[in-house]
Amino acid sequence: MSEIRRDPIGGRWVIVSTDSPKGPTDFQLVKDPETDPEKCPFCPGHEDQTPPEVLVSRNGGHINGPGWNLRVVPNKFPALKIEGDLGNEGIGMFDMMNGVGAHEVIIETPDHTKEMSQLSKQEIEATIFAYKNRCLDLRKDKRFEYILLFKNHGKSAGASLSHSHTQLIALPMIPKNVQEELSGAEHYYEYKERCIYCDIIRQEEQYKKCIVVANDKFVAFCPYVSRFSFETWIVPRQHFAAFDYIEPEAIPDLADILKNVLTRIHKALKSPSYNFIIHTSPIEDRVREEYHWHIEIMPKLTRTAGFEWGTGFYINPTPPEIAAKFLRQAKVNGK
Amino acid sequence: MPQLRKDPIIGRWVIIATERAKRPGDFLITKEKEDIKGKCPFCHGNEKETPPEIYALRKDGAASNKPGWDIRVVPSIAPILKIEGNLDRRGVGMYDAINGIGAHEVIIETPDHIANTAELPVGQIEKVLNTYVFRIKDLYNDKRFKYVLVFKNYGWAAGGSKINHARSQIIATPVNPKRVKEELVGARKYFEFKERCIFCDIIKQELKDKVRVVAEVDGFVVISPFAARFPFELWILPKKHNCDFYKLEQDEISKLAATLKLALCKLSKGLNDPPYNFVIHTAPFRHTEKHGYWKTIDRDYHWHIEIIPRLTQMAGFEWGTGFYINPTPPEEAAKALKEISCETELALAEK
Cα A81 to Cα A98: distance, rounded to the nearest angstrom: 9
Cα B300 to Cα A150: distance, rounded to the nearest angstrom: 38
Residue B262 has pLDDT above 90, yes or no: yes
Q: What is the mean pLDDT of chain A?
A: 90
Cα A52 to Cα A71: distance, rounded to the nearest angstrom: 10
Enumerate the H helices of B141-280 as residue ranges: 178-194, 198-209, 250-270
- Chain A partners within 8 Å of B175 (Cβ): 4, 13
Asked whether the beta carbons of B44 and B28 are under 8 A apart, the reply is no
Query: Where are chain B's structural domains?
Result: 3-350
| Residue A90 falls inside a structural domain | no
Strand-strand pairing, A102-107 and A165-171: antiparallel
Residue A52 has pLDDT above 60, yes or no: yes
Give me the mean pLDDT over the A31-43 stretch.
90
Contacts with B59 (C-beta within 8 Å, 6 or more apart), sequence order:
B68, B69, B70
Strand-strand pairing, A13-16 and A314-316: parallel
A-contacting residues in B 167-226 (Cβ below 8 Å):
169, 171, 173-175, 177-180, 182, 198, 201-202, 205, 208-209, 226
Residue A309 has pLDDT above 90, yes or no: no
**How many H-runs (helices) and E-runs (strands) does chain A carry?**
6, 15
What are B66-112's pLDDT values in tens digits? 999 999 999 998 888 888 888 888 888 888 888 888 999 999 999 99
Q: Which tops the pLDDT comparison, A42 or B290?
A: A42
Backbone angles phi, psi at A84, to 5 degrees: 120, 170
Q: Is A193 left (phi over 0), alpha (psi -120 to 50) or beta?
A: left
Cα B250 to Cα B229: distance, rounded to the nearest angstrom: 32
Residue A73 has pLDDT above 60, yes or no: yes
CA distance A334 to chain B (A): 30
Give me the mean pLDDT over the A176-203 stretch.
90
Lowest mean pLDDT among A150-164, B37-51, B84-98, B121-135: B84-98
Give me the mean pLDDT over the B199-225 stretch.
95
| Residue A131 falls inside a structural domain | yes
B-contacting residues in A 68-97 (Cβ below 8 Å):
77, 79-81, 84, 91-97
- Chain A partners within 8 Å of B314 (Cβ): 158, 304
Contacts with A144 (C-beta within 8 Å, 6 or more apart), sequence order:
A101, A102, A138, A170, A171, A172, A283
Record: contact A5-B95, CB cut-off 8 A: yes
- The CATH number of whichever domain residue A267 belongs to comes to 3.30.428.10
Q: Starting at the earlier edge strand, list the strands of the sheet with A94-98.
A: A89-91, A94-98, B3-6, B13-16, B324-326
Cα B239 to Cα A333: distance, rounded to the nearest angstrom: 63
Helix H or strand E segment including A57? strand A55-58
ipTM of the complex in this document: 0.81
Burial (CB < 10 A; 0-12, 13-18, 19+), residue B311, is buried
Asked whether the beta carbons of B131 and B107 are under 8 A apart, the reply is yes
Residue-level pLDDT at A1: 67
Record: contact A307-B92, CB cut-off 8 A: no
Q: Which domain holds residue A316?
A: 3-82+96-329
Asked whether the beta carbons of A146 and A171 are under 8 A apart, the reply is yes
Backbone angles phi, psi at B333, to 5 degrees: -60, -45
Cα A313 to Cα A111: distance, rounded to the nearest angstrom: 39
Contacts with B20 (C-beta within 8 Å, 6 or more apart), sequence order:
A77, B327
Cα B28 to Cα A238: distance, rounded to the nearest angstrom: 46
**Considering the domain B3-350, what is its CATH architecture?**
2-Layer Sandwich (3.30)
CA distance A198 to chain B (A): 12
Give me the mean pLDDT over the A49-70 stretch.
94
Q: Is A231 left (phi over 0), alpha (psi -120 to 50) or beta?
A: beta
Lowest mean pLDDT among A110-114, A121-125, A176-180, A324-328: A176-180
The total of other beta-carbon atoms located within 10 Å of residue A33's CB is 8
Residue among A79, A246, A240 nearest A172 (CA): A79
Asked whether the beta carbons of B122 and B257 are under 8 A apart, the reply is yes
DSSP structure string for A274-285 = EEEEEE---SSS
Residue A220 has pLDDT above 90, yes or no: yes
Burial (CB < 10 A; 0-12, 13-18, 19+), residue A313, is buried
- Closest chain A residue to the Cα of B198, Cα to Cα: A93
Contacts with A202 (C-beta within 8 Å, 6 or more apart), sequence order:
none
Residue-level pLDDT at B139: 96
Asked whether the beta carbons of B348 and B120 are under 8 A apart, the reply is no
| Residue A87 falls inside a structural domain | no
What are B135-179's pLDDT values in tens digits? 999 999 999 999 999 999 999 888 888 889 999 999 999 888 888
Residue among A147, A189, A153 nearest A169 (CA): A147
Residue-level pLDDT at B342: 86
DSSP three-state, residue B65: coil
Residue-level pLDDT at B161: 85
What is the DSSP secondary structure assignment for residue A31, as one 8-state letter? P
Residue among A296, A168, A179 nearest A232 (CA): A296
Residue-level pLDDT at A304: 77
Cα A236 to Cα A243: distance, rounded to the nearest angstrom: 10
* Facing residue for A277 by CB, picked from B180, B306, B319: B319
Q: Is B292 left (phi over 0), alpha (psi -120 to 50) or beta?
A: left
Cα Rg of chain A (Å, integer): 20
Question: Residues of chain B with pLDDT > 90: what percent?
Answer: 58
Number of domains within chain A: 1
What are A162-174's pLDDT values in tens digits? 999 999 999 988 8
What is the DSSP secondary structure assignment for residue A172, as one 8-state letter? S
Size of interface A-B (CB pairs under 8 A): 223
Secondary structure of A194-212 in HEC code, one letter for each residue: CCHHHHHHHHHHHHCCCEE
Residue A335 has pLDDT above 60, yes or no: no
A-contacting residues in B 127-166 (Cβ below 8 Å):
147, 149, 151-153, 156-160
Residue-level pLDDT at B30: 61
Cα B190 to Cα B199: distance, rounded to the nearest angstrom: 10
Residue-level pLDDT at A257: 98
What is the DSSP secondary structure assignment for residue A92, as one 8-state letter? T
